[in-house]
Each structure stands twice: as C-alpha cells, then as structure tokens.
Amino acid sequence: MTIDGKAVRGEKQLGVINPATGAVFAQVPECTRAQLDEAMNAAARAFPAWSRDLAQRRRVLQECGAALQARSEGLAPLLTQEQGKPLQKATQEIMGAAMWFQYTAGLEIPVEVLQDDALARIEIRRRPLGVVAAITPWNYPLILAVWKIAPSLLAGNTVVLKPSPFTPINTLVLGEILRDIVPPGVINVVSGGDELGAWMTSHPVPRKLSFTGSVSTGKKVAAAAASDLKRMTLELGGNDPAILLPDVDPKTVATKIFWGAFENCGQICSAIKRVYAHEKQVGPLVEELTTLARSVKVGDGMEAGTQIGPINNEPQFRRVTELVEDAKKRGAKIATGGKRLGERGYFYEPTIVTGISDGVRLVDEEQFGPALPVIPYTDVDDAVRRANATHYGLSGSVWSSDPERATEVASQLECGSAWVNQHLAVAPNVPFGGAKWSGIGVENGPWGLLGFTEIQVVNVARS
Ligand code: NAD
C-alpha cells in the first residue's frame, strides 16, 4: 500500500482471483484500522501545503499522466488478469486514465467576480474540501480511480483511495507510481475488503466521499456521510434502456447496440441493459444480435483475438446465471447463450433473451453482465414510459434515422446522459452522472472538478 509516501505491508494478505481461471494468482495487503488512521492522518497533514500551489498541482498531474502512460505495457497484463478484460482493452483503459490526468491538469478553477463597484468587491471562489475518501468498483478499476484522484488533487485536496477487493492490483501499482511524484501523504492507497470501505466512510478525517459502486452500497455510504455531513459524489448502478424508433432498420444499428450492451462483458454501469424495439423490429434485431453473439470470441483476455473476457467474479457470475434462469422460468426464450462456457473461470455465453417484458427480474434489475433482454413495444410513448418506470436513471439511448425526432424522445428519458444513435459516449470534458437512484453529483469536466470544491464568498466592503 502507499501511506504517507511510503510502501507499507499489510499484517494480513488478501487473495486476488484471476476470473479466467478461478484461481488465486496474487496476494495483496489487507489494511488494518490503525493503518487506515495513518493514511487519513498523513492526508490531513499534507493538505495545507498541497492546497496552496495550483501551478505545482498542474505540473504534478501532468507528470502523473506521463508516468502512467510509460508504465502501461507492464500494467495491462495485470489488469487483464485481475479484471478479465482483453489485453488490448486493458491497455486502452490505462492510456485513457493517463489522458484523464493530462486533461484534468489543464482545467481552470474559476474565480467569479459578482460585484466590483464603489460599495464592494464580491468574489465567488472555490476552496478544496480537505481529505477525500475515494472508493472504486471492479469493472474499470484504474480509470475510475483517476476520475476521482485527478480532480481531487487539482482542486487542492488530498486523497485516501481504496479499490475493490476483486481488482486491487492496478490501483496499488498506481500508488507506487504516484508515490514518486506527489509529496508524501497527498495520495494514499490502501487495500482490503468491504469493511475497509465502511471504515473510510465513517472515519472522522475525510470531508468528502467519492464513491462508485452499487446502489445498495451507495445508500450505506450516504448514511455514513449524513452523521458527519460529509460531502459526497455517488456514481451508482444503472439499468439503461435503448429504444429503437420504428423507422430505424435494425441491421444498421445492431452492431452498435451489441457492443453498447456487451463491451467489458456487459459490466459497465451505463451499458445497454434492456432494448425496447418496435414489435416489427424485434425479429430482425434479435437475428442480427444473435449472429453477433455467436461470432464474437469469448475467452481469456490474455489470448490474442479475445473480444469478451469472463465475468469478473463468482458472486457476479452467480447473479447473471440466476437472472437468466429466472427469465427462463418466467417463459422467456433464449435466442442464444444462456449458460456457462467451459469449466474453468467465470465465462458465460453472450446471451440474447426474447419473449420477455417488464416485471421480470432480468428487465427490472441491473444484470451487469453478458445477458441482454429485447422487449417489444407498439407505441413510442409507452416505450418511454416503461423505460422511465425504474428507480435507475444513469443513461439511455434512442435510435432512429431521424436524429431530431430521436433527440426529442431522448430528452424525455429520466437519466443523466441521453444519447442519440450511440451509447457509452463518455469523455473527460463531458459531465457524467445519474438521475434518481443512479447517483448524486457528476464526475468529469469542469462540473466534476467543482464537486471537489466548495464555494467561498469573499466580500470586501469599500465604503
Ligand atoms: P459495490 O457497491 O459492491 O462495491 C464498490 C466498492 O465499495 C468496493 O470497493 C467495495 O469494497 C466498497 N464497499 C462495499 N461495501 C461498502 C460499505 N459498506 N461502505 C463503503 N464501501 C463499501 O459495487 P461493485 O460490485 O464493485 O460494482 C458494480 C456496481 O458499480 C454496479 O452497480 C455498477 O453499475 C456500478 N458502477 C457505477 C458506475 C458509475 O459511474 N455510475 C461506474 C462503474 C460501476
């Protein structure tokens, strides 16, 4: 781990499983409560000096990006082994994280002058909050960590970061890399189980919680924040709908829909998790999706040509299996897939489900895996109503040959990102966040940066 600029061992170890084999392939430290206290105290001590010099922070973030990029070749196989994604996608994630550092380094921290006259000068400034406790999930462990630490650090905060126990390795190595660049205590990386996350959110030191994970854990984080009025950003789960308007030819959009759902083995908060297609489109769409699902190469991410890796962990593998089995019992048809692949690891066939509708768990709940339900509708307004009839509200997409009409429909979706003729359009300069239970606040761009600050009004009397 990285605590106060130093490498720190755990008193106990935690095994990390390679989802392609189902076997433990590495051990990482399990942080004790005393070590967490050290990390929090180190971050608090480092805060005053770090928050003073914006130019230094910009320089340091640039260096962090360059250093991460330089290490991408060594890191990518580790990411594939702990997370499961194909090696090329692991490299993309690391390069993306490096790019996020570089982009964030150039953001402005605005000072607005509200009034400047004979009576007063009133400025709106943005102050850092102090120590940020950052907690990440297992689907994009590295890039989601950088989404938190880059803006935290630029704004002048210091950080204690904890990865998921399923994917801690890259984040621990990131700590090693950053340790040589940032002053001691500015970034601390600890690893451990879910309990460590709970210790962090209830710890008296952090003033801000930045959390990405499931809705159920997000609610626990919010409850922990409440007793101390900690600020928080919550990036939570989604159950994204994709609606095909009746005019669109399923053939022209099937590939994009497929990868919108199956990228990263379906383990993306804002992946397409249910498709609403006009009843006339369902047949041809399912045919196209089925062909694609059967043609992609599913396998160990370390093997050349693999397009979809295993599900990351056993509980998630069981969950996807359970939701598909439940759909079968409720009368759904499996157009393709619907079962485990091989005997080792957590591989699951890319699965397309038809003969299903709202009210079945695979449609109503977040599957977060390689199983996609295609649901018929007859009336667009009804499709929108059903798409919105959920506590989730992360993102959604509308597909049509008429972008104007699609935009009009997309704007009716109750979600943070409404996409037209695309899905998963995420970029460093575009805010990303959820409506309803999918989150509080946003990440990325100037809006994400401001979430790591609070307003201070400086009001100077002139008379
Ligand atoms: P999770 O909620 O189980 O775990 C996320 C993190 O929280 C882990 O580091 C875990 O150790 C920690 N944690 C667990 N219990 C905690 C507690 N009581 N207090 C504090 N921390 C605790 O989620 P997961 O299974 O790792 O990730 C999958 C979920 O994340 C999905 O729902 C997915 O949609 C969501 N997600 C959301 C976004 C987004 O940006 N909105 C991005 C990626 C993933």
pLDDT attached to residue 292: 98
Burial class (CB in 10 A: 0-12, 13-18, 19+), 41: middle
Compute the distance from residue 114 Cα to the ligand 1 centre, in Å. 40
> Residue 217 and residue 212: Cα distance in Å, rounded?
9
Compute the distance from residue 135 Cα to the ligand 1 centre, in Å. 8
pLDDT attached to residue 220: 98
Compute the distance from residue 212 Cα to the ligand 1 centre, in Å. 5
CB atoms within 10 A of CB 411: 10
pLDDT attached to residue 146: 98
Tell me the CA distances in angstroms from 138 to 38, 145, 216, one per residue in order.
Answer: 25, 10, 16
Contact 358, 341 (CB under 8 A): no
pLDDT attached to residue 319: 98
Contact 353, 371 (CB under 8 A): yes
> Residue 240 and residue 395: Cα distance in Å, rounded?
6
Those residues with Cβ within 8 angstroms of residue 327's Cβ, 6 or more apart along the chain or in another chain: 353, 356, 360, 361, 362, 373
Q: Which residue minimizes the CA distance to atom 18 of ligand 1?
A: 198
SS3 193: coil
Tell me the CA distances in angstroms from 208 to 48, 134, 167, 241, 374, one per residue in order.
Answer: 16, 8, 23, 31, 40
**pLDDT (tens digit, 0 to 9) for every residue of the chain, 463 residues total?**
999 999 999 999 999 999 999 999 999 999 999 999 999 999 999 999 999 999 999 999 999 999 999 999 999 999 999 999 999 999 999 999 999 999 999 999 999 999 999 999 999 999 999 999 999 999 999 999 999 999 999 999 999 999 999 999 999 999 999 999 999 999 999 999 999 999 999 999 999 999 999 999 999 999 999 999 999 999 999 999 999 999 999 999 999 999 999 999 999 999 999 999 999 999 999 999 999 999 999 999 999 999 999 999 999 999 999 999 999 999 999 999 999 999 999 999 999 999 999 999 999 999 999 999 999 999 999 999 999 999 999 999 999 999 999 999 999 999 999 999 999 999 999 999 999 999 999 999 999 999 999 999 999 999 8
Compute the distance from residue 398 Cα to the ligand 1 centre, in Å. 27
Contact 376, 327 (CB under 8 A): no
> Residue 58 and residue 61: Cα distance in Å, rounded?
5
Whether residue 42 has its Cβ less than 6 Å from ligand 1: no
Q: Report the residue among 135, 148, 233 best suited for mutation to probe ligand 1: largest number of ligand atoms under 8 A from its CB.
A: 135
In the numeric block, the tokens 């809705």 are attached to 215
pLDDT attached to residue 263: 98
Task: Write out pLDDT tens, residues 318-346.
Answer: 999 999 999 999 999 999 999 999 999 99
pLDDT attached to residue 34: 98
Q: Which token pair is 26?
A: 């590495």
Q: Report the residue among 93, 167, 212 best suited for mutation to probe ligand 1: largest number of ligand atoms under 8 A from its CB.
A: 212
> Residue 432 and residue 426: Cα distance in Å, rounded?
7
SS3 457: strand
Q: Which residue minimizes the CA distance to atom 20 of ligand 1?
A: 197
pLDDT attached to residue 311: 98
Given 93, 235, 349, 366, the catalytic residue: 235
Q: Indicate which atom in ligand 1 lies nearest the CA of residue 164.
A: 9
Given 269, 288, 366, 443, the catalytic residue: 269
Compute the distance from residue 137 Cα to the ligand 1 centre, in Å. 4
CA angle 59, 62, 68 (to 5 degrees): 140
pLDDT attached to residue 96: 98
Read out DSSP for 394-409? SEEEEE-S-HHHHHHH
> Residue 159 and residue 46: Cα distance in Å, rounded?
10
Q: Indicate which atom in ligand 1 lies nearest the CA of residue 235.
A: 41
Whether residue 395 has its Cβ less than 6 Å from ligand 1: no
Compute the distance from residue 286 Cα to the ligand 1 centre, in Å. 31
Q: Report the residue among 164, 211, 268 best suited for mutation to probe ligand 1: largest number of ligand atoms under 8 A from its CB.
A: 164
Strands (DSSP E) contained in 31-157 are 112-116, 120-128, 131-135
pLDDT attached to residue 376: 98
Those residues with Cβ within 8 angstroms of residue 381's Cβ, 6 or more apart along the chain or in another chain: none
Task: Write out pLDDT tens, residues 415-457.
Answer: 999 999 999 999 999 999 999 999 999 999 999 999 999 999 9
Whether residue 239 has its Cβ less than 6 Å from ligand 1: no
pLDDT attached to residue 123: 98
Any catalytic annotation for residue 235?
Answer: yes
Residue 130, phi-psi category: left (phi > 0), alpha (psi -120 to 50), beta (remainder): left
Compute the distance from residue 404 Cα to the ligand 1 centre, in Å. 36
Q: Report the residue among 138, 269, 317, 444 best suited for mutation to probe ligand 1: largest number of ligand atoms under 8 A from its CB.
A: 269
Whether residue 424 has its Cβ less than 6 Å from ligand 1: no
In the numeric block, the tokens 């990006």 are attached to 65
- Provide the sign of the torsion angle of the four alpha carbons 111, 115, 118, 120, taken in this order: negative
- pTM of this prediction exceeds 0.85: yes
Those residues with Cβ within 8 angstroms of residue 457's Cβ, 6 or more apart along the chain or in another chain: 122, 123, 124, 125
> Residue 156 and residue 161: Cα distance in Å, rounded?
16
SS3 460: strand
Contact 312, 278 (CB under 8 A): no
Whether residue 221 has its Cβ less than 6 Å from ligand 1: yes
Q: Which token pair is 357?
A: 């509708």
pLDDT attached to residue 188: 99
Of 394, 398, 342, 402, the residue nearest 368 (C-alpha): 394
pLDDT attached to residue 365: 98
Compute the distance from residue 194 Cα to the ligand 1 centre, in Å. 9
Note the Cα 87 to chain centre separation in Å.
Answer: 19
SS3 95: helix
> Residue 452 and residue 450: Cα distance in Å, rounded?
5
Any catalytic annotation for residue 366?
Answer: no
